[in-house]
Amino acid sequence: MTEISEYKDVWVFTEIKDHERVDECALEILGKGREIADQLNESLVAIVLALDAEQYIPVIKEHGVDKIVYMSHVELKHYHEQIFTHLVFNLVENHKPSVFLFPSTEAGDALAARVAYRCRTGLVSDVLDIEINEESGLNLRNTEAFKPAYGGNINVKIITKTRPQMCTITRGTFQKQKSKKKDVEVEKVDYAYDTSNIKVKIVGTPTRKDKPSSKLSDAKFVIGGGHGLSSKENFDKLFELAKLTNGQVGGTRRPIIDGWMPEHLQIGISGEAISSELYIGFGISGAIQHVVGISDSKTIIAINKDPNARIFDAADYCVIGDANEILNGLLDYFTV
């Protein structure tokens, strides 16, 4: 059995998005990873699996890494759970990182869970912050992960005592930190996977016809909607308002469940984090899972008929009133 003291270094799964760019969330996590690695006096290592992975190395080098470990192969063009799990688990077994951080994306969440299971280690999902527990000793210092619980009413501290210590992190939780090391070690690992073991094959990738032309996380003006709008017909009016005001529509989890909005427009811990100049929320109660995603917006306006709605605690301007009536009034104003 491997001793905990034998595990070292902070790893970040540096996901490649749409086989064309480094995922923004992964770059943000590298910033936090640098902080943790410095505290532990260990190295920060970026793990990259992609087609033509070499092209992403210059960008990753600018974010404070000590080392980049990468695999490059045509089978890594798209995320495949069997292949990625096998390859990443083997890397963990061979190198034994102390901390392993993942972006909370579709691929990152799935991969982190599978690797954690194979490692028989703990996994803390959607953390809000990570600190080092100094009381556990210099060589055995554990991470403390903070995440919301009980519907967002409290934040809990989770101390991980197994190795590697694994977390998933939502975009916008941390800030990118550009700092280039003088001598970044780059290691290429040969791709090795027997494709005859694949049980599920990727035969094509979907095209989202409803995908916005600009990313929600980059929008300057975001219009958010929640279950308080009462119907899809009312929610669709947000898209009308967005067209008239050059805004971008997003929302909470509930409109997705109700079929009012596509999943990629979700704002919050399980979706996108925004840093817009202006955010207006219509009929949103204010669960922490959503509030975390809007907290970096410069100005937040919340509209809700419940004067005790939690969204008002996060808002700069609070409007107590019927969200549908106000929405209709704005549509009338901008269509005159």
Query: For residue range 250-291, what is the model confidence (pLDDT) as tens digits?
Result: 999 999 999 999 988 999 877 888 889 999 999 999 988 899
CA dihedral 294, 299, 304, 305 (to 10 degrees): 160
pLDDT greater than 90 at residue 161 = no
Instruction: Compute the distance between CA of residue 44 and CA of residue 64 in angstroms, rounded to an integer.
Output: 8
Q: φ, ψ for residue 167 (rounded to 5)?
A: -145, 150
Using DSSP's 3-state secondary structure scheme, residue 149 falls into strand
Q: φ, ψ for residue 92 (rounded to 5)?
A: -65, -45
The interaxial angle of helices 232-245 and 323-334, nearest 10 deg, is 40
The CA–CA distances, whole Å, from 193 to 8, 55, 86, 114, 186 equal: 26, 22, 8, 17, 22
Instruction: Compute the distance between CA of residue 305 and CA of residue 321 in angstroms, rounded to an integer.
Output: 4
> Is the model more confident about 176 or about 152?
176
Looking at every residue in the chain, the average pLDDT score rounds to: 88
Per residue in 306-316, pLDDT (tens digit) is 999 999 999 99
> Of 153, 197, 97, 158, which is closest to residue 286 (Cα–Cα)?
153
Instruction: Compute the distance between CA of residue 222 and CA of residue 242 in angstroms, rounded to an integer.
Output: 8
What's residue 59's pLDDT? 95
**Banded pLDDT at 67 (limits 50, 70, 90):** very high
Q: Locate tokens 């910033």: which residue?
A: 31
State the first-to-last Cα distance of the chain, in angstroms, to the nearest integer: 73
> Of 217, 221, 244, which is closest to residue 329 (Cα–Cα)?
244
Instruction: Compute the distance between CA of residue 126 and CA of residue 292 in angstroms, rounded to an integer.
Output: 11
Domain 4-197 is found in CATH 3.40.50.620: yes
- How would you classify the pairing of strands 248-251 and 278-282? unpaired
> Is the model more confident about 206 or about 224?
224
> Of 289, 288, 286, which is closest to residue 304 (Cα–Cα)?
286
Using DSSP's 3-state secondary structure scheme, residue 24 falls into helix
Instruction: Compute the distance between CA of residue 273 and CA of residue 260 in angstroms, rounded to an integer.
Output: 20
What's the CATH number for 216-334?
A: 3.40.50.1220
pLDDT greater than 80 at residue 86 = yes
What's residue 138's pLDDT? 36
What's residue 135's pLDDT? 58
What's residue 105's pLDDT? 87
pLDDT greater than 70 at residue 214 = no
Domain boundaries, the chain: 4-197, 216-334
Average pLDDT over residues 44-73: 95
Greatest Cα-to-Cα distance within the chain, rounded to the nearest angstrom: 73
pLDDT greater than 50 at residue 55 = yes
What's residue 172's pLDDT? 77
pLDDT greater than 60 at residue 3 = yes
What's residue 252's pLDDT? 95
> Does 216-334 match 4-197 at the fold level?
yes
Contact 268, 285 (CB under 8 A): no
Contact 186, 70 (CB under 8 A): yes
Asked which of 55-69, 130-144, 318-332 is least confident by mean pLDDT, the reply is 130-144
Percentage of the chain modeled with pLDDT above 90: 63
Per residue in 193-213, pLDDT (tens digit) is 888 777 777 666 655 444 544
